[in-house]
Amino acid sequence: MGEGDWFSQFCGALRINADKRGSIGYRTGRIVGQLNYDLRDKLDSKSAYRFYVGSYGRSTAIPSVSDVDLLYELPYSLYLRFHGHAGNGQSALLALVRNSIRNTYKTSEVSGDGQVVVINFDDGIRFEILPAFVNDNGSYTFADSNGGGSWRVCKPKQEMNAFAVRNMACNQNLVELSRMARAWRDTNNVSMSGMLVDTLAFQFIANWEYRDKSYLYYDFMTRDFFRYLANLDTSQIYWLAPGSGSYVYRSDVFQNKARSAELRAIEAITHIANGENWSARQKFRAIYGTAFPD
């Protein structure tokens, strides 16, 4: 089994299994069914007016994922109602959504978090529901209850579309790279949000010379991606999200750990050239963790 097979097996291990997807889908249906019934004239649908955002929506989540981000489209009549609300109308809108969800999940922890309604399940899965109003240009207006309340705008569909288009142009390698980078982040305790991981993977792969190649080139992709991360300016604190141009902030410097990963990848490639496959795999396991084949 050569390095292409190693990475094919590794990437397969980073896919969320059917049971977990089924559990997420079931919970999503219950949440959305209740919201549609309460907020859309008793509409009987568990799937209308919602879509996944975040890493789950971009298909870059890995089996360790604990957060599921869901956008629910509110009827415009609620914007008119709460925009003219006395006091913090944004907080009142979130409370309305929170109370609706509690009609279904009576015993789970359901709370507000400034812009989203959060449900914490006892198996460690956390749903973050963003109630939002669709705008004519395809963006969404959502409530921010912080600081007395305000309305803010996001562009999740534009972000996901830009990501999907580049992924198709790169032979699906962008999604695979984003998942691999999450495995590195989790294994090495790197402080990076999923959106930052995906943004940097998106920027890197646009100009990578082997972006349309197969798993056989993933040892090079590992080396070159972490070199790219390591060479980023440590004083830079934000990057622009694909499709929307929204600011994506870093929480801590990650370049040193990226350099360490690059050096391990270089060692692994040298081991491969020398026919030392076991030693090469141990270097990749040091980068990516135990999901990489032994």
Distance CA 263, CA 26 (A): 43
Looking at residue 18, its pLDDT comes to: 96
> What's the whole-number mean pLDDT along residues 261-285?
98
Distance, CA of 117 to CA of 115 (rounded, Å): 7
pLDDT of 111: 82
Q: How confident is the model at residue 52 (pLDDT cuts 50, 70, 90)?
A: very high
Task: In the chain, list all ranges with CATH 3.30.460.90.
Answer: 18-154
Per-residue pLDDT at 108 exceeds 80: no
What length does the chain have? 294
Instruction: Tell me what pLDDT residue 242 has.
Output: 97
- Residue 61 one-letter amino acid: A
pLDDT confidence of residue 216: 97
Give the pTM: 0.94
d(CA 3, CA 218) in angstroms, rounded, equals: 8
> Do residues 160 and 227 lie in contact, with contact meaning Cβ atoms separated by under 8 Å?
no
Determine the pLDDT at residue 281. 98
Check whether 86 has a pLDDT greater than 90.
Answer: no
Q: Give the residue-averaged pLDDT of 277-292.
A: 98
In contact, 143 and 93? CB cutoff 8 Å: yes
Q: What are phi and psi of 115, to 5 degrees?
A: -130, -15
Tell me which residue of 186, 115, 112 sits closest to 149, measured CA to CA.
Answer: 115
**Fold exhibited by the domain 18-154:** Beta Polymerase; domain 2 (3.30.460)
According to the model, what pLDDT value does residue 106 have? 85
Give the chain's mean pLDDT: 96
